[in-house]
């Protein structure tokens, strides 16, 4: 079970998304808990100020006090066991999220996520409060709320029992370091497009071979960078060499 704690100034954003589908069911089954906290509740003045001007010029930045107060409060009241800490700042400056980073994050029991807004957060939050900085891609969003939802989604899928069949998680793109092979369902003939014959053959050995090769083919053409860090068999290498020859 994983507890996700989201610090935000826009709590309402989250309710709809997390009630539905697999993430909603995961909460019903007690496999994950999602808590949202309004950062303004942790501000120190009567106006509940969470942001301020940037020293030296620029627009607005999250002040450190509400963030430290909120995290420390959660740690005191909600996180009873003194686990290794995981306090994530969602930021375009962070480590880019991928399957391996999601697996690392899924090893924590309590995950605190800070959703930045404005120009970001006071640097002292980075240096003295957060343990991980995570980006979901090389583009700048208006805040960390969407990235935190992406992170919760991808981490939750890795918890046994959240997705109906754990096989389908281990077969996903990236789970084995490759892009997933193409998949088809009925009808076997749609308009003029036929499902590859081998998939209708019932020959499991041949189907597995076809899937592996198509997975390698897709990865070779779309994400050749992935092939450098995946374990390949002799047979895989032969197949990739054939693809390379075709390219020449
Ligand atoms: N906040 C704004 N843009 C972001 C991004 N790309 N990833 C994570 N957090 C962000």
Pocket test for ligand 1, best of 135, 138, 148, 150 (most atoms within 8 A of CB): 135
CB contact at 8 A, 210 and 198: yes
Ligand 1 mean position, distance from CA 137 (Å): 7
DSSP readout, the chain? Answer: -EEEEEEES-TTHHHHHHHSHHHHHHHHTTSEEEEEEEGGGG-SSTT---EEEPTTS-SEEE-HHHHHHHHHHHHHHT--S-PPP-EEEEEEEEEEP-HHHHHHHTT-SEEEEEE--TT-B-HHHHHHT-SEEEESSSS--S-SHHHHHHHHHHHHHTSTTTSS-HHHHHHSTTTTSSPPPP---S-SEETTEEPPHHHHS--HHHHHHHHHHHHHHHHHHH-GGGGGGS---HHHHHHHHHHHHHH-
Instruction: Map tokens 């808990």 to a residue.
Output: 33
Token pair for 88: 């994530």
Q: Is the minimum distance from the CB of 135 to ligand 1 under 6 angstroms?
A: yes
Residue 108: predicted pLDDT: 95
Instruction: Please say if 122 is a catalytic residue.
Output: no
Gap from CA of 152 to ligand 1 centroid (Å): 14
The alpha carbon of 72 and the centre of ligand 1 are apart by a number of angstroms equal to: 24
Residue 219 vs residues 71, 176, 180, 188: alpha-carbon distances, Å: 41, 11, 8, 25
CATH domain 2-156 topology = Alpha/beta knot (3.40.1280)
pLDDT tens string 3-52: 999 999 999 999 888 999 999 999 999 999 999 999 999 999 999 999 99
What is the predicted pLDDT for the residue at 175? 81
Percent of the chain scoring above 70 in pLDDT: 98
pLDDT at 82 over 70: no
pLDDT of residue 16: 86
Closest by CA position to 6, among listed 24, 33, 28, 26: 33
Q: Atom of ligand 1 at shortest distance to CA of 90?
A: 9
pLDDT at 81: 64
For the chain, domain boundaries: 2-156, 189-247
Q: What is the CATH number of domain 189-247?
A: 1.10.1270.20
């Amino acid at each position: 079970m994983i507890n996700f704690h989201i610090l935000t100034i826009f709590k309402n954003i989250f309710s709809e998304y997390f009630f539905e589908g697999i993430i909603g069911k995961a909460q019903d089954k007690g496999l994950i808990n999602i808590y949202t906290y309004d950062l303004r509740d942790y501000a120190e003045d009567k106006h509940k100020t969470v942001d301020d001007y940037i020293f030296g010029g620029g627009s607005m930045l999250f002040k450190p006090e509400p963030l430290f107060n909120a995290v420390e409060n959660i740690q005191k009241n909600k996180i009873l066991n003194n686990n290794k800490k995981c306090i994530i700042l969602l930021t375009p400056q962070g480590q880019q999220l991928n399957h391996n980073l999601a697996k690392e994050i899924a090893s924590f029991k309590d995950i605190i996520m800070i959703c930045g807004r404005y120009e970001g957060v006071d640097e002292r939050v980075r240096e003295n409060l957060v343990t991980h900085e995570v980006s979901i891609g090389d583009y700048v969003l208006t805040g960390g709320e969407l990235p935190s939802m992406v992170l919760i989604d991808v981490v939750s899928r890795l918890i046994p029992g959240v997705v109906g069949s754990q096989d389908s998680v281990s077969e996903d793109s990236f789970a084995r370091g490759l892009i997933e092979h193409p998949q088809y369902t009925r009808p076997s003939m749609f308009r003029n497009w036929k499902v590859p014959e081998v998939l209708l053959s019932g020959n499991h050995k041949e189907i597995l071979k076809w899937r592996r090769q198509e997975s390698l083919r897709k990865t070779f053409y779309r994400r050749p960078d992935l092939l450098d860090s995946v374990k390949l068999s002799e047979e895989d290498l032969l197949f990739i060499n054939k693809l390379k020859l075709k390219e020449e």
